[in-house]
Structure 1
Amino acid sequence: MKDSQLLHILALQHVSKIGDTTAKKLINHCGSAEAVFKEKRSNLLKIDGIGEVLLSELHKSNHLEAAENELKYIRDEGINCHYFLDDTYPEKLKHCLDGPILLFSSGNINLNNQHIISIVGTRKITTSGIAFCEKLIEDLAVYKPIIISGFAYGTDITAHKAAIKNKLQTIGCLAHGLNQIYPKVHKKYVAEVENNGGFYTDFWSSDTFDRNNFLKRNRVIAGLSQATIVIESAEKGGSLVTADIANSYNRDVFAVPGRTTDSQSIGCNNLIKQQKAHLLSTPYDIPYMLNWELEALKKPPIQKQLFVELDADEKIVYNYLKDNDKELLDVIAINCKLPTYKMASILLNMELKGVVRPLPGKLFELI
Structure 2
Amino acid sequence: MNGLENRDDHRKIVALSLIARVGAVTYKKLTEKFGDIDSILKATSKDLTSLKNLPKNLQESLKNPELLEKAEKEITKAQKSGVDIISLLDPEYPEELREIYDAPMVLYVRGHLPIKGTPAVAIVGSRKASLYGVRTAKSIASDLAKSGVVVVSGLALGIDSAAHEGALKQNGVTLAVLGGGLSRLYPSQNKKMAERIVKNGAVISEYPMEMSPRPEYFPMRNRIISGLSRAVLVVEAAQKSGALITADTALEQNRDVFAVPGNADASKSQGTNALLKQGAKLVTCATDILEELNIADKSKARSADEISVNIKKMNLSPEEEKLYSLLDNEPLQIDTLIEQSGLTISRTMSSLMSLEMKGAVKELPGKNFIRNS
Is the contact between residue 143 and residue 299 of structure 2 (CA under 8 Å) also seen in structure 1?
no
5+ residue gaps, structure 1, are: 299-367
Aligned to 1:282: 285
Given that 1:17 and 1:54 are in contact with CA atoms closer than 8 Å, whether structure 2 keeps it comes out as no
Deviation, structure 1 residue 112: 2.7
Partner of 2:294: 291
| Deviation of 1:181 (Å) | 1.7
Residue of structure 1 in register with 2:228 after alignment: 224
Kindly report which structure 2 residues correspond to 1:164-203, keeping only aligned pairs within 5 A, or say none.
Answer: 164-203=168-207
9, 27, 32: which one aligns with 1:23: 27
Coordinate RMSD, CA, aligned: 2.4
**Aligned residue type for 1:291:** N
1:113–1:169 distance in 2 versus 1, CA, 3 Å: farther
- Taking structure 1 as reference, are residues 27 and 284 closer, same or farther at Cα in structure 2, changes over 3 Å only? same
- In the other structure, the counterpart of 2:136 is 132
Give % identity. 33
TM-score normalised by the chain length of structure 1: 0.74
| Residue 295 (structure 1) shift | 7.2
1:207 aligns with 2:211: yes
1:118 Cα deviation from its structure 2 partner: 0.4
Partner residue, 1:267: 271
In structure 2, give the amino acid aligned to 1:289: E
Q: 1:142 and 1:17 mapped to 2: Cα distance?
A: 41
- How many aligned positions are there? 297
Question: Distance between the aligned counterparts of 1:51 and 1:126, measured in 2?
Answer: 43
Contact 2:146 2:298 in 1 (8 A): no
Distance 2:274 2:79 in 1: 46
Matched letter for residue 173 of structure 1: V
Amino acid of the structure 2 residue aligned with 1:177: G
TM-score norm. by structure 2 comes to: 0.73
Distance 2:186 2:52 in 1: 39
Contact 1:45 1:52 in 2 (8 A): no
- SS in structure 2 opposite 1:164? helix
Q: How far apart are 1:198 and its partner, in Å?
A: 1.3
- Alpha-carbon shift at residue 194 of structure 1 (Å): 0.7
Judge which range, 151-160 or 209-218, deviates more: 209-218
Q: Does 1:38 align with 2:42?
A: yes
2:254 aligned to 235, 247, 250, which one? 250
Q: CA deviation at 1:232?
A: 0.2
| Structure 1 pair 244–57 and aligned structure 2 pair: CA distance change class (3 A) | same
Task: State the Cα distance separating 1:109 from its structure 2 match.
Answer: 2.4
Residues 176 and 17 of structure 1, relative CA distance in 2, 3 Å threshold: closer
Residues 26 and 262 from structure 1, CA distance in 2 versus in 1: closer, same or farther, beyond 3 angstroms?
Answer: same
Deviation at 1:199, TM superposition (A): 0.9
* Paired position in structure 2 for 1:144: 148
